[in-house]
A and B are shown apart, each in its own frame.
Chain A
Amino acid sequence: MPADVGQPPTKTAMDLDVRGQDWYVDKLVSVLVFVGGISAVVLILGIFVFITKEGVGFVFGPMEVWEFFTSPFWRPTSRTEATYGILALMVGTASVTGLAMLIAVPFSLGAAVFIGEFATGRTRETLKVLVELLAAIPSVVWGFIGLAIMNPLIIETFDVPIGLGILNSGIILGLMAAPIMTTIAEDALKAVPDGYREAAEAMGATKWQVISKVVFPAAKNGLMAAVLLGVGRGFGETMAVLMASGHSINLPTSVFDSVRALTATIAAELGEAPVGSDHYRALFTIGIFLFLITFVINLMADIVIRGGGRKR
C-alpha cells in the first residue's frame, strides 16, 4: 500500500484478488487456443523438415547447384547420362502462371468491383454464390475442360497442330484462380467504410472517381494480397496444369508451345522414382524450391497487408 494515500484498502478492492470460475475458464481457453496455434506452426515445420531431409542429400551430394537451376535438360531416367536441370520447368511454371495472372487479375478485380460496388440486392447475392461455387470446382475438372474443350478449340481457331500448351493451361489456370481472387478482393472492398464513399460522393465525385480515387487506395493492401495469393495458387496448381500444358520439356518460343510445370513433374514422376535414388531426391529438391517460392509469396502478401496498416 502506498504510504501517502493513508487509507486501508476497501472491501471491494480486496475482492479484486478473487479469481472465480470465469477467470480459470479464461486461462484454460487461452491455453487451448495457444496449443491450436502452435500445432499449425509445428505441422508446417514438420513438412519442411521432411521434404528437406529427403532432398538435402542431393543438394549437397551429386548435384551441381548452378547446373540444377540453369540447365534446361531434365533427363532423370536416361540410362547413359542422367541430367537434372529445372530451367525448362521453371520457365514452364512461370510462363503459365504469368499468362494466368494476365487473365485473372483484370477479370477478378472487375468482378470484385462489380459485385462490391455496382450490383445490388438479388444480383449481388446470386453472383457471390456463383463465384464461390466456381472456386469449389475440383482442379481435375478444369484440366478436363482444358483437354476436351480448349484443346480442339485452340487447334481450330489458331490452326496449330496441338492445343495443349501455355495458352491453354494459362487460360485454365487464370479461370481457376479468378474466383478465389475475386472473393478476397471483394472482401477488401467491403472493408472500406461506407463513410468514405459517402464523403466522396457528397463532393460530387462520380461513381468511377469514388472507386478509383477513394475505394482503391483504401483497399490497396487487400487487393495486392488477392493478386499475390492468386500467384501463389498458380505456382502451386498441379493437376489442371499437368493436363492442359502438354507436359513436354521445352523452352517455349510461343504461347502455343507445350511446357512442363515444376509441380506437374513431381506429381507425374514421384511414383516411379525409386525411393532414395538421385531422381527421387531431385524431385524433393524441386519440392523445397516450390515450398520456398510459395513461402516468399505468402510472406510478401503478409507484409503488404500489414505494411500499409501501420502507416495509416
Chain B
Amino acid sequence: MVAPTVKLAVRDLRIAYGEEEAVSGISLDVHANEIFGIIGPAGSGKTSFLRALNRMEMFNDDMHVSGEIVFGGRDISDIRNVYALRQKIGVVFPLPVGLPMSVYDNVALSPRLRGVKNKAALDEIVERCLTRAALWDEVKDRLKALGSLLSGGQQQRLTIARALSQDPELLLLDEFSIAVDPVTTMRIEDVLRELKEEVTIILVTNLVQQARRLADRTAFFLSGELVEVAETEVLFTGEVKDQRTRDYVEGRFG
C-alpha cells in the first residue's frame, strides 16, 4: 500500500490563552483528500486547534501557539505571506456570517480579491459555489438580496459557498450544522463527500454520528489532549485503545 500524502502535519501543538493551556501537545497527520473528523466534549481544544491552523492567533493577543504546523510540506510559522496561506485554507465558523452585502457579492468577494474581474467568470464561480453548498435553487432569483437577511440555515450555506469560492486546498468546518436543519445538513454532507475529491476537509463536530457518517479518520480530543486517532469505523465499532473513547462515542459522558 502506498503511503498517503500528508496534507497537514501537526507536531506537539500547544495553545495557551494567557496562563490557561487549551491544547497541550497534539501531534497528528491529516491526509490529502480525506475528511478528518475531530470529536470531543466542550473545552477539549477542538476550536483552538482549528484556529491555529489558519494562523488566527494573530487576531488575539492572549493566544499563544507553539509547536509545528506543516501545511503542504511547509511550516506555516515561517511562510512570508500569511494572506496567501489563509486563501488556501477555507474556514466555516459555527455561527453563520453573512457579510453585509448581496448574496452574489458574498460569494464573489474572494475571487474579486484575487483579481478576477471578468463578469462571466464571476457568474460561473458564484453559481458553482452556491450549487455545491446546496443553496443555488433557493437564492438564484434573488442574488441581489442582502446576504445578512437570509435565514440562519441559508446564511450558513452561503458561508460554505463563500469558503468554497476561495478555491481552498484545505477546508476547516467548525460545527457547521449547528444552525442548519437536518435535511439541509444531509445535503451539505453529500456535498462534502463529493468535495473531498478536490480538497482536504477537517470537520470539527459535536455530533459523533456526523463524524461517523462523514469522516474517513477521526480524532478524539479530551481536555486539550489527543486521546486517539483512528479509522472512523475502528473508532466506532472496533478495538479502541482507550476506554474513554468508547465511553464518549457511546454517549456515556461528554
Binding site for B on A (CB under 8 A): 1-2, 4-5, 7-10, 12-20, 22-23, 26
Contacts and interface: CB of A to CB of B under 8 A. Distances in A.
Contacts of B113: 22
B6 A16 contact: no
- What are the 6 closest A-B residue pairs judged by CB atoms, nearest first? A13-B72, A9-B73, A10-B72, A13-B74, A16-B79, A17-B80
14 contacts: A1-B70, A2-B68, A8-B73, A9-B72, A9-B73, A12-B72, A12-B88, A15-B84, A16-B80, A16-B84, A16-B88, A17-B80, A19-B81, A23-B83
Nearest to B32: A10
B169 A12 contact: yes
A65 to B, nearest CB: 42
Contact of B73 (A4, A5, A18, A23): A5
B80 A19 contact: yes
Contacts of B209: none
Given A13-B71, A16-B76, 9 more contacts: A1-B75, A7-B5, A10-B73, A12-B169, A16-B74, A16-B84, A17-B81, A18-B81, A20-B81
A1 B73 contact: yes
Contacts of A1: 70, 73-75
B140 interface: no
Interface in B1-15: 5-6, 9, 11
A22 B11 contact: no
Contacts of B85: 16
Tell me if A's interface is mostly helix, strand, loop or mixed.
loop
Contacts of A22: 83, 113
A26 to B, nearest CB: 7
A18 B88 CA distance: 13
Interface string B96-123: 0000000000000000010000000000
Interface of B: 5-6, 9, 11, 29, 68, 70-76, 79-81, 83-85, 88, 113, 169
Contacts of B76: 16
Contacts, number: 58
Contacts of A18: 80-81, 84
Tell me if B's interface is mostly helix, strand, loop or mixed.
mixed
Given A2-B68, A23-B81, A23-B83, A7 B88 contact: no
A8 B74 CA distance: 8
B81 A4 contact: no
B5 to A, nearest CB: 7
A200 B60 CA distance: 32
B83 A26 contact: yes
B7 to A, nearest CB: 9
B80 A13 contact: no
B84 A5 contact: no
Nearest to A15: B84
Among B29, B70, B72, max chain A CB count under 10 A is at B72
A26 B58 CA distance: 15
A193 B157 CA distance: 24
B9 A5 contact: yes
B82 to A, nearest CB: 8
Contacts of B5: 7
A2 B80 contact: no
B73 A7 contact: yes
Contact of A17 (B6, B29, B79, B169): B79
Among A9, A13, A18, A19, max chain B CB count under 10 A is at A13
A23 B84 CA distance: 9
A14 to B, nearest CB: 7
Contacts of A2: 9, 11, 68, 70, 75
Contacts of B169: 12
Contacts of B68: 2
Nearest to B27: A4
Contacts of A15: 84
A12 to B, nearest CB: 6
Contacts of B83: 22-23, 26
B80 A5 contact: no
Contacts of B73: 1, 5, 7-10, 13
A18 B87 CA distance: 13
A158 B169 CA distance: 81
Nearest to A5: B9
B6 A5 contact: yes
A1 B80 CA distance: 15
